[in-house]
Structure 1
Amino acid sequence: MKIFKLFKKDTWIRPFLGKYRKSLFFALTLGFMTFFCGGALMFNSGFLISKSAAHPENILLVYVPIVLTRAFGIGRPVFRYLERLTSHNWVLKLTSELRLKLYRVLEKDAVFFKNKYQTGDILGLLSEDIDHIQNLYLRTVFPTVIAWILTVFIVIALGIFSLWFALVMLLLLCVQVILFPLMAILVNGARQEKQKMLKNELYTELTDNILGVSDWIFSQRGKEYLEFHKEIEDKLHHVTRAIKKSNHYRNTGVQLMFGVIAIALLLWSGMQFPGNHGGAANWIAAFVLVIFPLIDAFAPLNDAAQETNIYQDSLKRLNGLSNESSDERKPSESIKQLNAPFVLTVNNLSYHYPDDNKQVLNDLTLSVGSGQKLAILGRSGSGKTTLAKLLRGDLEPSVGSLKLNGIDVSDLGESVSDYIGVIHQAPYLFNTTISNNLRIGNEDATTASLWQVLERVGLKNLVTSLPEGLETVVDEAGLRFSGGERHRLALARILLKNTPIVILDEPTVSLDPLTEQDLIETFMKQLEGKTIIWITHHLQGLSMMDKVIFIEDGKLKIEGSPDELASSNEHYKKLLAIDHGDYVVE
């Protein structure tokens, strides 16, 4: 199995198995004792019922099984509670260590880690993967090991009475602990991979197309998108139904196998302990009833084995971090202070994400001069946002170069924020005061500077009217402010930082036309003299730009000034008509 191969090379989980081996052993022992008490309770109960039905001459003849029944009846929930307490404590200690190790890796490699991983990957590592490791032990490792221990104990116990039946029982139990779990992995493993792939595809397509929903509407292709979305959903539902159907058949087989085991015990005990009343015949019910509480120990093994397919990716990603060397790509510490004029040059740039060979950008070449206003247009998925990440140094080109004054942007490291600022679609405001939110741009900004910059972005009157002015606490994510107001606060940060280059990553995509136009005019006025790179879906406000480029399928298709394109380019004319609502479908 792949997961065992991963464990052999694992550097994240295995070290902690030795560190907490005493707690691990204690948890497994308590788990075994839980099911032992459950089986022993039924064993003694069966014996007690049979013995009592034989009308014993003296109560002392059933006194011991009465006491044992009460003892095992109390012991089962007690051991269950202690097992849960111990196992969860062990797993929580393990995951705590894993999170600490992960944070240290991310912090150490933060400067260049973003070059190889997208934000979603990092969030997946921080939350999903660690949770999967936690479930790996609670839902797979512990139940499987306890079931194996019970199998060995049952076979040895039966071997005391009958060696040949112990071997028969070993065969029947191996079907439960080995054959059925293996079938679960083999039958549903490929389906789970396909299910995961379809979910990722559905999430990616849904996210991209919601952000670019205006493109679908303007191009009158909304029905086409819905059909495409429904097609993926139908495939996902089909795979999910197949997995559930397979699980149903397998679980039915498990129950039938337990029925076979119960019948086998009944037949064997009848032969092993012959008699009509009392004596050895009292053991028949004891041996038959003991199997039923053990079903709870063996039944979860199939789902536990099947879930190993889910855990493999988590182990791969975590161990993949261990192979990343901090020395592969360190920001240069010897880069001197860059001086104006600031020129961005993109030369034969191509890019694809590490896990996808599809070219997001292909052989892109352009130059952005100091103080130039450049608009980048293109439909959803054309590569605009990826280009913005490359311009900011969050990603490194797969091929070609992207330089600021002759220095690779990715080599600037954290100092890139001194030269390039970004205003995103949904600027984030932290749950602290307005002044603290603004000082993210400049920690040393004075109160007077804060009021000055608020006046420049048109928010001074609003902040003045708030109960505590600059010290008013902003709700989480800035929900007390409208979309336009959050963008103005983001602009205020940029102005306090005073970066020479500003990337506007579709900041007006969710605003109404009047607010959008007002915000665009504020951006252009307050950022006068700075280099502006505006990524947008809309054509509103493009007349204020010096140059417009279109990216299609990762390639630069059209470029020129707004006036040139409006007079000579048919595609641009068509987009203008659509944007103004004048386009008529023939």
Structure 2
Amino acid sequence: MFKKIPLLQELKKDTWVKPFLKKYKKTLVLAIFLGILTFFCAGALMFNSGYLISRSATRPENILLVYVPIVLTRAFGVGRPVFHYLERLTSHNWVFKMTSDLRVKLYKALEKDAVFFKSKYQLGDVLGLLSEDINHIQNLYLRTIFPTFVAWGLYVFIVIGVGIFSIWMGLLMLLMIGIMLVAFPIWSVIVNGARQEYEKKIKNELYLDLTDNIVGITDWIFAQRGRDYVKLHEQNEEKLMDVQEKLHHFDQIRDYLLQLVFMLVVVSFILWGGTYLGGSNGVYTGLANWIAAFVLCLFPVVDAFAVIPAASQETNVYKDSLVRLNRLQDNSFEEEKSEIKLIAPYDIKLDNVHFRYENGSREILKGINLDISSGDKLAILGRSGSGKSTLANLIRGDRVATEGAITINGIDVSKVGDQISNYIGVIHQTPYLFNTTILNNLRIGNEEATIEQVWQVLERVGLKDMVKALPQGLETMVDEAGMRFSGGERHRMALARILLKDAPIIILDEPTVGLDPLTEQEVISIFNRELKDKTLIWITHHLQGVEAMDQVIFIEDGTIEMQGSPDYLRKTNERYQKLKAIDEGR
């Protein structure tokens, strides 16, 4: 039965969690032992208190029969918080050391396989991996492994301890506490575990939606679909709230039934105490003083068993996190990419390209066919989520097509490897400048560039006079993210970086977003002038400057809805005419 539990199956082949069990096994054993001592002291405190109350109601034959329980009550009363504090200190210390090593291992794995990982997962998945999965692994120990070992340790102790007094009562406790430790957890895993897995899936989808839609918020605003964006987010929130309500309802029913079972355990002890300990036929025996002791000690100990069903139902979520982490070291993330040298002319061909993210429910691109000859100027339009940015990432090799092929001169771009940056440069809508000198920022494109070459590209993008006027010139420090420069200046810096690299293919990913109209027109003019001899792929959300393009395509729901030269579309395509009129404010 336990072999079929998904978490146990995944732990067998785990390379992320198991190594730390061996590495810090002494601390782990100590934490479990302290946890057992904590509940033992809590139960023993009530046990002594119950005995003391009963014994004090009768005339003791010896004062030690009362004095010793008083001393033990104080000892166990002090021992419970002390052992609880030490257990928390030890267990959290163990978990924090483990998760610290785990995070280092995760970042190294992501750094090693960054390109391939990005090709299969969206930004929201990466956020989910970093923010959710590590916490799940941490909770796996704090909420499931530690409490489970402690509960089973107490279970064995209680059954043996009660069995010393009565075999039949020991067997009854074996059954009834076993129901709390086995039946309720399995029921929770089957019913609520699936719901929790669905809850995690919805949370991941919210990560994806939020990252995609916030990055593309300007598209939503431009398309006047702001309310649709809010409605979409609210629908996902409603799904999450619905499943969380079902989880909470199930928890209430399960906890109620759990308390009923515990009540039966208490009643069983009372009846057993009244007959066995109280003496037969109502004849009093000295053992009657133990009835309250046995019954009262159950109440603090039951807390150790009550948390197990809730902890067990989360194993499906933990299993999913283990799968995601272990796949980082799977061979599927280690496809070797030979360094292939491309030869001009750099003709790009997309043949029946489909794309969906791994485990994604929606196909982003559906059968895209496109030819981009060397030196062509292509504009890609489409609303947020239509797939235009995904298409650009596929062309650059950052992602791998689910179906079909993307080639440059017949060579699959995904096989080019890291050398793709020698052939394709990218300017994003928010160019990033690092907190170092202007010179270092520009030389990122070409570390071998001379000072003379740097000044030449600055002159070409219209920044030479501005940089010369700075007190330290090229050695001027750029503030974090380049915030000391205006938006237009940051875009020109990014263009200068690209020009130093001298890549033959340039992708402009909405480079004019957030710029005022005059700056936008100036930046577009500089781009068109300085990139006239290169293949240009321009992703844009409106039609400003597209007249300079050789070809325009409009992507809608993953397919090309219209395609042609700007002049041809202006004359023949009614939808293009309407978009152009809206863009021009007519």
Distance 1:186 1:521 in 2: 62
Deviations 1:150-180 (A, max 9, x none): 1111011000001111122222212221222
- Does residue 380 (structure 1) correspond to residue 384 (structure 2)? The answer is yes
Tell me if structure 2 keeps the 8 A contact 1:159–1:165.
yes
Q: Which residue of 1 aligns with 2:239?
A: 235
Find out whether 1:547 has 2:551 as its counterpart.
Answer: yes
Q: CA deviation at 1:539?
A: 0.6
Structure 1 residues 213 and 93, CA gap change in structure 2 (3 angstroms): closer
* Secondary structure of residue in 2 paired with 1:341: coil
CA displacement 1:42-61 (0-9 Å, x = unmatched)? 21222223333435475433
Is the Cα–Cα contact under 8 Å of residues 377 and 549 in structure 1 kept in the other structure?
A: yes
Please, which of 301, 307, 319 is the counterpart of residue 300 of structure 1?
307
- Give the alignment partner of residue 284 of structure 1, picking from 264, 286, 291: 291
Name the structure 2 match of 1:430. 434
**Cα-to-partner distance string for 1:419-464 (whole Å, 9 max, x where unaligned):** 1111122333334444433332233445555455445444556656
| Cα distance in structure 2, aligned partners of 1:578 and 1:326 | 45
Match of 1:273 in 2: 277
The residue number in structure 1 matching 2:337 is 331
Alignment: residue pair count: 579
Match of 1:525 in 2: 529
Pairing of 1:20-419 with structure 2 (within 5 A): 20-54=24-58, 56=60, 59-110=63-114, 112-213=116-217, 215-217=219-221, 219-274=223-278, 279-325=286-332, 329-333=335-339, 335-336=340-341, 338-356=342-360, 358-419=362-423
The answer to whether the 8 Å contact 1:51/1:278 transfers is no
The one-letter code of the counterpart of 1:309 is N
Shift in alpha-carbon separation, 1:100–1:216, aligned structure 2, 3 A: closer
Report the Cα distance in structure 1 between the residues aligned to 2:213 and 2:20, rounded to whole angstroms: 43
Q: Is the 8 A contact 1:112 1:331 kept in 2?
A: no
List alignment gaps of at least 5 residues for structure 2.
Answer: none
Matches within 5 A, 1:419-498: 419-446=423-450, 449-450=453-454, 452-459=456-463, 470-471=474-475, 473-498=477-502
Q: Secondary structure at the match of 2:120?
A: coil
Q: Look up the equivalent residue of 2:378 and give its one-letter code.
A: L
Instruction: Name the Cα RMSD after superposition.
Output: 3.0
For 2:469 and 2:75, locate their aligned partners in 1 and report how far apart those are by CA, in whole Å.
71
**1:136: Cα distance to partner?**
0.6
Give 1:186 shift.
2.4
C-alpha change, 1:299 and 1:37, in structure 2 (3 Å) is same
Work out whether residues 453 and 496 of structure 1, in 8 Å CA contact, stay in contact via their aligned partners in 2. yes
Q: Deviations over 1:36-77 (max 9, x none)?
A: 111112212222233334354754333322222222222222
Q: 1:479 to 1:277 in 2, by over 3 A?
A: farther
SS in 1 for 2:256: helix
Structure-1 separation of matches of 2:103 and 2:222: 46
The 3-state SS of whatever aligns with 2:331 is coil
Tell me which amino acid in the other structure corresponds to 1:527: L
Structure 1 range deviating more: 304-313 or 525-534: 525-534
- CA displacement 1:473-524 (0-9 Å, x = unmatched): 5454444544444333322322232222110111223334333323222322
1:414/1:23 Cα in 2 relative to 1: closer, same or farther (>3 Å)? same
Q: C-alpha distance in 2, partners of 1:105/1:209?
A: 28
In the alignment, is the contact (CA less than 8 A) between 2:457 and 2:499 conserved in 1?
yes
Contact 2:159–2:171 (Cα < 8 Å) also in 1: yes
What TM-score comes out, normalization by structure 1 length?
0.89
Cα distance in 2, alignment partners of residues 437 and 319 from structure 1? 36
Unpaired runs of at least 5, structure 1: none
Q: Whole-Å Cα distance in 2 between the matches of residues 304 and 130 of structure 1?
A: 17
- Shift in Å, 1:558: 2.3
Letter in 1 for 2:403: V
Offset of residue 470 of structure 1: 4.8
Distance 1:214 1:365 in 2: 27
**Amino acid in the other structure paired with 2:92:** H
Give SS of 2:243's match.
Answer: helix
Cα distance, 1:417 vs structure 2: 0.8
Q: Distance in 2 between matches of 1:486 and 1:47?
A: 79
- % identical aligned pairs: 61
